Chains A and B, each alone.
Chain A
Amino acid sequence: QVQFVQSGAEVKNPGASVKVSCKASGYIFTNYAVHWVRQAPGQRLEWMGWINPVNGNTHYSQSFQGRVTFTRDTSATTAYMEVSSLRSEDTAVYYCTRDLFGSSEPFEHWGQGTLVTVSS
């Protein structure tokens, strides 16, 4: 079965960086784009963008362009999301999910979420 297992919760100081991992299993990793979604406390879900595992091409939502970087390791079927220059507003749960690359699909399978807390 399709499964995403994300790395554990993180607590970071303002200005630091954080890298969240998302280990995929149960499907052909390179057939699907990996998307990232952020949810700040009590807020709506925000789509951050995607990465194409085949070639590493990325697309970032305008709201997240500049401090967010998506990468992947195809041999490990793992996607990564890094946020640099962390601010208190980056405190949120970050989810990974997928859709069939090149198509419009809803997000049926989700990781369990990774809570990132930014606090001094």
Chain B
Amino acid sequence: GENVEQHPSTLSVQEGDSAVIKCTYSDSASNYFPWYKQELGKRPQLIIDIRSNVGEKKDQRIAVTLNKTAKHFSLHITETQPEDSAVYFCAASNPGTASKLTFGTGTRLQVTL
């Protein structure tokens, strides 16, 4: 089955700096890659996603890039703010397996003042 690895497990940046979180996946048939943000005690919230026919997608301060050949994708947050502090999860899904999401183990992002 699919295996998703996520790095780093913790990341601390200063307000205004950029943050990058990386994920690799194992199943070359996976074609959908969402990113979720989870604040303490809350549900995971979808913040951006990308499909395998696109190499990059941007939404204001966040962007996701996908390298299908290398089987890795990354989340980029620019101009970080304290409210960006949360745990971020990447995931991958394969349409051949009912598009079930396989999640990475999460990255705790701390944005310091």
Q: Bound pair: A and B?
A: no
